[in-house]
Each structure stands twice: as structure tokens, then as C-alpha cells.
């Protein structure tokens, strides 16, 4: 059974798919033709009833829905080494920072992208502990960084301001953030309060662009 | 009087500020901002979940399939050009994921599943028992009505059920449904016509009694 022209008109009218002129025409006919009006009214009542179904009921455990999904994405990225939807966006160099153990400090604590240069043999005389930080980039709004050399400690310090407070139960302490030279580049190591490394951010400078690699918590990557 | 459409729109917060538009959030996602994706998921998870549940008629499977749909959307976001609205693009992904699932499970259209929690299964003294937010008789009518609608919808084929759901419940336009289901607008109209005819037969007593 194919719909008649009138039936098709009624469906399109009720669905808001008629152009204004056709709508006016049909409304004129509906006013004059009781049979057509009745058919239209019945269909409208059916539609009104169907529309009582919820259009967007929350799935069970809606918060967990998001958390579970984002965790899957992070795991997938960690396993494949793939970056996120950005494909190449800088923020995702730091995706590992969203690991649960870094939630408090993690969102921003190391989200400072630093271009670092270790003075080599051809450069000026090495100054132990002194690292030349070319530039820094903090993707999080409200976070700023400053770099200075502390003579008494013989260390270059990258200081981040604007971070969230770190809760007491969080084992990672900002003051234990340290750095050391490794092979071709630099690794910034995040230490917990007992001095154990929990993660490292590595910059490989030989290929021209820094490559950051997270290490697994507590060990080597 | 034409029915109003119910296109998904960005929510308005309690402070009156509009949430970011989909286009802005998509651009942020493509720049690697997972928080933007989190907002999009929150915005659409209900619609996606409802759409899937309408097809697979099982709460647990619907949850998993909705997750898979969002995961695929995230993977595909770098290739999203914005030619279509984000939500129709997301619906199309969801539609494909759900249909793949249906094919794998070889669920024949017309087989009925009933996940409905019956009222007599709920302990009225239970701490999590639903609170009566409306008059008991009104609530009962709505529940009965919902059950009848679901039972009638379950008698439709998956294509017809999906089409009528996207039109009547989600408020999509013909061309949007066609894009989601990858068919012509003529096919959409045809499916709507037959689905409504069938539902009129199945539900006539119901809607004539309550209106």
C-alpha cells in the first residue's frame, strides 16, 4: 500500500517538512475537509503519544560512563603510542598526566613544555647543574612558569605557579620534582615523597625536536 | 499544527551562560582537548544511549554500544570536516555500531526483549525505591503507556523502529535521518509511513482512550 498524495502531505505537514505555501494550502483544505482533518488529527495524536518517550535518558551511572570512556581512550593511546583526536596536538604529549595517581597535581603540574638545551662540548664550558631552558609553554590557562638557577643548590629550577593544591594523600610532591641529564637529552623525573621516581618526561634533542616519553610509574619506560 | 522538532542544542547553564557550541568543542577536541570531548559526551550520551537502546532493547548492551560509538567518534574526529552537524555525524557512527552489533548477534527484527523493571519487583521500603514525583495514578498511566509504546515499537523492524524514533522522539529532520541511516529521504518517508500505519493499528485503542 503506497501512501496517497494526501497522506504524504499530511505526514510531511506534521513533520514540519512542507514549505510555507504548501502548508497554507493544506491548512485551508484541512479546515474544509473533515475526513482529511480526522486523518491528520489521528496521526497527530499518535505522534504526541510517541513523543512522550524520553529523548535523552541518562545511561546508568552517567559519570562512570564518561570516566570509563576517557580511560579507554587513554589506555588505547598508551598502548598504541597514538595521539588523541588532535593527531599532533601538544597537549597530548602530556596525556599520561591524567593517570589517576596524578589527578590532583597532574592536570597541570608538569604541563609545561620546556625546550631545554644542555651545553655540549662545543659550547661554553660546562657548568654542572646549569641547563639552558630555551622556552617554556604552559597549555593550562592560569599556569605560568619561571626558570632560574639556584647557585646554592647548583641546579636549574623550573617553577610553576598557579597549580592546584596537592592533597595530603597525594604522594607526589612538587618540591621533589627534579631533573637529570640522560644520554642524548634530558629527562625530568617526578619523584614521590620518598624519593622514588614515579614518572619521567624525556626530551630527545638529537632529532631536532623534543620527544617526550612517559615512563611507567615507579620505573623505566 | 506541525510538531516541533527537537534538535539537540547546547545546554544553557543555570547562570544563563550558554555552553560552548558543538563546533567549538569539536575544534578543541581536534586540538587534543579531552575535556572538550568530555563535554560532548555529557551532552550527547543520553540521546546516543536512547537511540541504541531503542535498537537493541537491552540496557547493558546499550551502555556498551554507546561507549563503543563514542570511542569510534573520538578516533574519527581528526577526519571530521564539519560538513554535517556533529550530532548527525555522531548518530551515523552510533547507527553503524549498533547495526554491526545487531548483525553479529543475529537478532531478528520482531524478537521481543523485556528489560522493563516491573513495579511489583521494587521494594517500596527500599532506600533506592523511586520517589513518587507525580500522582500515583498519573505515574501508573505513564508507565502503562510507556510499556504499550515499547511493546508496539518492538513489533516494528529495526529500520522502521529506528526511523520513527529518530523522527518522533529525537526530532530529526528527514534529511538528517537519511544521513544517519545512509538512505534517501524517500526511504525515510516510506519507513515513517509504514511504521506509523503499523503503530496506529497497534496503539489505536490506547491513544484514542487517553486523548
Question: What pLDDT, in 10s, does the model give residues B146-178?
Answer: 889 999 999 999 999 999 999 999 999 999 999
Residue B106 has pLDDT above 80, yes or no: no
- Residues B173 and B166: their CA atoms lie apart, in Å, by 9
- Give the per-residue pLDDT at B144: 82
Q: Is B64 a domain residue?
A: yes
The pLDDT value recorded for residue A107 is: 38
Q: Which residues of B touch A37 (CB under 8 A)?
A: none
Nearest to A4 by CA among B205, B197, B163: B197
Give the distance, in angstroms, between the CA of residue B89 and the centroid of all CA atoms in the same chain.
14
Is residue B115 situated within a structural domain? no
Question: Does residue B41 register a pLDDT over 90?
Answer: yes
Chain B residues with CB inside 8 Å of A12's CB? Answer: 189
Number of domains composing chain B: 2
Confidence band of A151 (pLDDT split at 50, 70, 90): confident
pLDDT of residue B32: 86
Q: To 10 degrees, what angle do helices A62-80 and B59-76 make?
A: 50
Mutation target to probe the A interface, by most A beta carbons within 10 A, among B1, B3, B202 is B3
Q: What is the mean pLDDT of residues B60-66?
A: 94
Query: Of residues B139 and A28, which shows the higher confidence score?
Result: A28
Cβ neighbours of residue A193 closer than 8 Å, sequence gap 6 or more = A171, A172, A173, A176
* In-domain check, residue A18: yes
- Whether the CB of B184 is below 8 Å from some CB of chain A: the reply is no
List helix spans (H) across B59-184: 59-76, 86-105, 136-154, 158-164, 174-181
CA-based nearest distance B134→chain A, Å? 15
Q: Which CATH number does the domain housing residue B91 bear?
A: 1.10.1740.10
B121 inside domain: no
Nine-digit cell at A175?
618540591
Please provide the distance, in angstroms rounded to a whole number, between the alpha carbons at the two ends of chain A: 67
pLDDT confidence of residue B141: 58
pLDDT digits (tens, 9 = 90+) for A19-63: 999 999 999 999 999 999 999 999 999 999 999 888 999 999 898
| Candidates A7, A15, A60; nearest CB to B3 | A15
B98 with B147, same domain: the answer is no
The answer to whether residues A104 and A190 belong to one domain is yes
| Domain range enclosing A71 | 58-88
Residue B3 reports pLDDT greater than 80:
no
Residue found under cell 529523548: A55
Instruction: Decide if B32 and A85 are in contact by the 8 Å CB cutoff.
Output: yes
**pLDDT at residue B135, rounded to an integer:** 52
Whats the size of chain B, residue-wise?
211
Nearest to A53 among B41, B67, B169 (CB): B169
Residues of chain B with pLDDT > 70, as a percent, come to 73
Name which of A14, A48, A69 is nearest B2 (Cβ-Cβ). A14
Q: CA-CA distance, A71 to B73, in Å (whole number)?
A: 15
Q: Is residue B56 one of the residues assigned to a domain?
A: yes
Indicate the residue of B29, B62, B169 with minimum beta-carbon distance to A51: B169
> Does position B67 have pLDDT exceeding 60, yes or no?
yes
* Residue A214 belongs to a domain: no
Locate B157 and state its grid cell.
Answer: 523492524
Same domain, A99 and A30: no
A212 part of a folded domain: no
pLDDT of B193 over the 50 cut: yes
Q: What is the pLDDT of residue A75?
A: 85
Note the ipTM here.
0.77
The B residues from 138 to 157 touching A (CB cutoff 8 Å) are 142, 145-146, 149
Residue A38 lies inside a defined structural domain of this protein: yes
- Which triple of cell numbers denotes residue A211? 620527544
Alpha-carbon distance of B49 to A163, in angstroms, equals 36
Residues 32-61 of B with CB under 8 A from A: 32-34, 37-38, 41-42, 45-47, 49-50, 59
In angstroms, rounded to a whole number, what is the distance separating the alpha carbons of residues A37 and A73?
53
Q: Report which of A214, A215, A212, A203 is spatially closest to residue A134, judged by C-alpha positions.
A: A203
The reported pLDDT for the residue numbered A104 is 39
In chain A, which residues have their Cβ closer than 8 Å to the Cβ of B193? Answer: 3, 7-8, 11
Q: What percent of chain A has pLDDT over 90?
A: 25
Do the Cβ atoms of A57 and B50 come within 8 Å? yes
Report the range of poorest mean pLDDT among A179-188, B80-89, B133-142. A179-188
Kindly state whether B63 is in contact with chain A, defined as any CB-CB distance less than 8 angstroms. Answer: yes
Subunit contact B32:A59, Cβ cutoff 8 A: no
Minimal CA separation from B92 to chain A, in Å = 17
Chain B environment of A72 (Cβ under 8 Å): 67, 71
Residues A135 and A114: beta-carbon distance below 8 Å? yes
Dihedral pair phi/psi, residue A112, rounded to 5°: -120, 115
The answer to whether position A150 is within a domain reads yes
A156 and A98 co-located in one domain = yes
Q: How confident is the model at residue B143 (pLDDT cuts 50, 70, 90)?
A: confident
Q: What is the Cα–Cα distance from A81 to B194, expressed in whole angstroms?
A: 49
pLDDT of residue B8: 53
Q: How many domains does chain A have?
A: 3
Is 60 exceeded by the pLDDT of residue B2?
A: no
Please tell me the predicted confidence (pLDDT) of residue A206. Answer: 44
Percent of chain A's residues with pLDDT above 70: 45
| Residue B45, all three cell numbers | 550520551
Give the largest CA-CA distance in chain A.
99
Contact A12 B189 (CB under 8 A): yes
Residue B180 belongs to some domain of the structure: yes
Contacts of A16 in chain B (CB under 8 A): 2-5, 173
Q: How many CB atoms lie within 10 A of CB B128?
A: 7
B96 is in which domain, residue-wise?
A: 19-107
Are residues A133 and A116 in contact, defined by beta-carbon separation less than 8 angstroms? yes
Q: What is the mean pLDDT of residues A131-156?
A: 67
Higher pLDDT, B180 or A136: B180
A211 inside domain: no
Amino acid at each position: 500500500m503506497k501512501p496517497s498524495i494526501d497522506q504524504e502531505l499530511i505526514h510531511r505537514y506534521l513533520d514540519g517538512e512542507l514549505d510555507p505555501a504548501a502548508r497554507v494550502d493544506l491548512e485551508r483544505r484541512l479546515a474544509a475537509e473533515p475526513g482529511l482533518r480526522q486523518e491528520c488529527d489521528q496521526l497527530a495524536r499518535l505522534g504526541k503519544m510517541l513523543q512522550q518517550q524520553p529523548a535523552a535518558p541518562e545511561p546508568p551511572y552517567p559519570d562512570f560512563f564518561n570516566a570509563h570512556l576517557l580511560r579507554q581512550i587513554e589506555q588505547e593511546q598508551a598502548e598504541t603510542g597514538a595521539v588523541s583526536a588532535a593527531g599532533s596536538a601538544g597537549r597530548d604529549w602530556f596525556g599520561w598526566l591524567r593517570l589517576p595517581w596524578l589527578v590532583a597535581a597532574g592536570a597541570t603540574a608538569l604541563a609545561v613544555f620546556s625546550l631545554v638545551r644542555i651545553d655540549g662540548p662545543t659550547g661554553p664550558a660546562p657548568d654542572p647543574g646549569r641547563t639552558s631552558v630555551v622556552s617554556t609553554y604552559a597549555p593550562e590557562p592560569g599556569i605560568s612558569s619561571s626558570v632560574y638557577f639556584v647557585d646554592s643548590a647548583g641546579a636549574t629550577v623550573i617553577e610553576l605557579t598557579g597549580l592546584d593544591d596537592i592533597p595530603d594523600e597525594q604522594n607526589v610532591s612538587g618540591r621533589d620534582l627534579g631533573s637529570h641529564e640522560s644520554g642524548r637529552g634530558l629527562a625530568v623525573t617526578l619523584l614521590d615523597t620518598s624519593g622514588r621516581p614515579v614518572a619521567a618526561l624525556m626530551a630527545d634533542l638529537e632529532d631536532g625536536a623534543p620527544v617526550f616519553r612517559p615512563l611507567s610509574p615507579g620505573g623505566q619506560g | 499544527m506541525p510538531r516541533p522538532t527537537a534538535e539537540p542544542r547546547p545546554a544553557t547553564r543555570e547562570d544563563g551562560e550558554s555552553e560552548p557550541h558543538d563546533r567549538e568543542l569539536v575544534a578543541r577536541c581536534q586540538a587534543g582537548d579531552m575535556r572538550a570531548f568530555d563535554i560532548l559526551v555529557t551532552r550527547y550520551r543520553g540521546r546516543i544511549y536512547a537511540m541504541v537502546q531503542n535498537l537493541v532493547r537491552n540496557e547493558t548492551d546499550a551502555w556498551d554500544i554507546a561507549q563503543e560509538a563514542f570511542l569510534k567518534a573520538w578516533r574519527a574526529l581528526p577526519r571530521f570536516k564539519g560538513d554535517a552537524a556533529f550530532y548527525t555525524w555522531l548518530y551515523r557512527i552510533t547507527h553503524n555500531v549498533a547495526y554491526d552489533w545487531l548483525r553479529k548477534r543475529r537478532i531478528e527484527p520482531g524478537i521481543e526483549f523485556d528489560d522493563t523493571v516491573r513495579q511489583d519487583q521494587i521494594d517500596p521500603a527500599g532506600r533506592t525505591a523511586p520517589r513518587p514525583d507525580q500522582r500515583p495514578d498519573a505515574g501508573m498511566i505513564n508507565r502503562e503507556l510507556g510499556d504499550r509504546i515499547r511493546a508496539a515499537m518492538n513489533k516494528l523492524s529495526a529500520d522502521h523502529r529506528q526511523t520513527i524514533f529518530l523522527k518522533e522522539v529525537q526530532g530529526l529532520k528527514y534529511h538528517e535521518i537519511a544521513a544517519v541511516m545512509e538512505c534517501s529521504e524517500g526511504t525515510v518517508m516510506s519507513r515513517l509511513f509504514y511504521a506509523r500505519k503499523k503503530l496506529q493499528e497497534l496503539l489505536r485503542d490506547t491513544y484514542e482512550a487517553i486523548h
